[in-house]
Amino acid sequence: MVVFGGTGDLAMRKLLPALYYLHRDGHLHPDTRILALARAQHSLESYRKLVKRHVGQHVPRRDFDQSVWELFAERLDYLSLDVSQRVAFPRLTKVLKPGTGRVRVFYLATLPSLFAPTVQHLAAVGLTDEHARVVLEKPLGESLQTATRINEQIGQVFDESRVFRIDHYLGKEAVQNLLALRFGNALFEPLWRNAHIDHVQISVLESVGVENRGDYYDRAGAMRDMVQNHLLQLLCLVAMEAPVHFEPEAVRNEKLKILEALRPITGMDVQDRTVRGQYAAGEHAGERLPAYYFEKSVDHDSNTETFVALQAEIDNWRWAGVPFYLRTGKCMAQRKSEIVIQFKPVPHKLFPHHGDSPENNRLIISLQPDEGIRLSLMAKSPGRGMGLQQVELDLNFDEAFTRRRWDAYERLLLDVIEGDATLFMRRDEIGAAWRWVDPIIDGWRDCYRSPKRYPAGSWGPEAADSLLERRGHRWLDQR
């Protein structure tokens, strides 16, 4: 496992803790070695110390064991190398001998602008044989054009079966449970269509701001950072047809069909069906939060969006007429990711109901902070009469499964080692997602430059509420 960017935030917070768990639980072959690379100078000892500090921070105390750590540390190696310098790569072949027939995973946890040079330089020194595979972190490009260029450059070295484009949302247990729920149960599938579903809401909300990623974020914004990948992938899993097999091509073919069926949002629709926001100063949990444009490394005149809400439509038989509302934001009132499937009301009301919820059912799939599935049903209120009230069947995964649940990166890293690409994005999926997203970003740039302000710690701009209200809906989690 060769981790480019081996001193970075992603490596320290996610990849190395995930590898520690895979090692601890006996999922790594005894000969597996982890080679980390970055420009910083480290001795092997100082690098191992650095990793130990971070793994210690990110793995709960009960899971960290000194004797396990010592064996894990023996797998770790470090090399200082600037990947933009082709002349540096022959040094790599002293550590990684070409032509050994070993499976090698090159994990590119660096800026996307370094992806193409890295693989070209690896190829030049003979390290990209048929046993090598490459993992690319999101965001892949900034537009269809840049993503296509990166994919073409990678494709000159690695054929598609050896390219793993990671979207860690797909590694989450709750996301895979969405597939299990849909395709492992007979109960929901007959209802999973426009005849019975009123609309769908997909939200990925963070309570934190851009933290120390202002430089990257100010160039990307919420649309490129979250919607183009995580939210559209979730939408695909909700909306896709049952694949014939649970195998990479079958699953990815079905996801692609959904991306291709998304109705384009262009011209006036950009104003009508999308809302972009940017957080102003505010407060969360008693703490004052600065406006986005005062964050470190963010331009004071920035028009970058930190919030997006939009209404997507899928033009196919199953979903015609069902709005899919997508929403993501930073500095929101709550941290949570969830999918809400709102079913239609009963065709004829027999009973009065109490409270403000109409007589209909709702399925809520929570992805974070808690993972679980809730189904709201109408039940008779205790006492006289036949008044109804809403109650929930609540499946909390923490309570249902006592075994520790894997982090998304553990699952996905093991899939890469085993060569299983089912939960990774194929090149044409990336293209289709950008093809849909690009005209929205163009529309904002050409006509609606200024994002709407919302106080940090709130539920986003009011326009996001109006987006749903105009269609007789409301966000089902707020106010």
Annotated binding site for substrate: 168, 172, 206, 225, 330
SS3 50: helix
Tell how strand 336-343 and strand 362-368 pair up.
Answer: antiparallel
Q: Both tokens of residue 147?
A: 């993503």
404: left (phi over 0), alpha (psi -120 to 50) or beta: beta
Residue ranges in 225-244 that form contacts with ligand NAP under rule CB under 6 A: none
Q: Which stretch binds ligand NAP (CB under 6 A): 3-11, 378-386, 396-404, 415-423?
A: 3-11
SS3 347: coil
Phi and psi of 423, rounded to 5°? -95, 25
Residue ranges in 37-76 that form contacts with ligand NAP under rule CB under 6 A: 37-40
With CB under 6 A as the rule, give the number of residues binding ligand NAP.
22
Residues making up the binding site: 39, 82-83, 138, 168, 172, 206, 225, 330
Q: Is position 211 an interface residue for ligand NAP (rule: CB under 6 A)?
A: no
Q: Which stretch binds ligand NAP (CB under 6 A): 5-13, 191-199, 361-369, 375-383?
A: 5-13
CB of residue 77 to ligand NAP, shortest distance in Å: 15
Q: In what order do the strands lie in the sheet with 34-38?
A: 76-80, 34-38, 2-4, 104-108, 132-136, 163-165
Closest CA to 270 of 443, 68, 95, 470: 443
Out of 230, 284, 300, 473, the active site residue is: 230
For ligand NAP, the closer of residues 112 and 282 by Cβ is: 112
Q: Is position 82 an interface residue for ligand NAP (rule: CB under 6 A)?
A: yes
Q: Identify whether 230 is a catalytic site residue.
A: yes
Q: Is position 396 an interface residue for ligand NAP (rule: CB under 6 A)?
A: no
Distances (CA, A) of 272 to 44, 311, 438: 56, 9, 17
CB of residue 39 to ligand NAP, shortest distance in Å: 3
Phi and psi of 257, rounded to 5°? -60, -35
Q: Which of 35, 51, 96, 109 binds ligand NAP (CB under 6 A)?
A: 109
Q: Which stretch binds ligand NAP (CB under 6 A): 19-27, 32-40, 345-353, 415-423?
A: 32-40
Peptide bond into 369 cis (omega under 30): yes
Q: Is position 110 an interface residue for ligand NAP (rule: CB under 6 A)?
A: yes
Inter-residue contact 160 to 427 (CB < 8 Å): yes
What span, in angstroms and rounded, lies between the C-alpha atoms of 107 and 472?
A: 46
* 126-155 burial: b if 16+ Cβ within 10 Å, else e: ebbeeebbbbbbbbbbbbbeebbebbeebe
Q: Which stretch binds ligand NAP (CB under 6 A): 31-39, 244-252, 353-361, 456-464?
A: 31-39
For ligand NAP, the closer of residues 7 and 302 by Cβ is: 7
Residues making up the binding site for NADP(+): 39, 82-83, 138
Q: Write each residue from 134 to 173 as x if it is in contact with ligand NAP (CB under 6 A), else as -, in one continuous string.
A: ---xx-----------------------------------
User: Which residues would be at the binding site for ligand NAP (CB under 6 A)?
Assistant: 4-11, 37-40, 82-84, 109-112, 114, 137-138
Catalytic residue ranges: 230
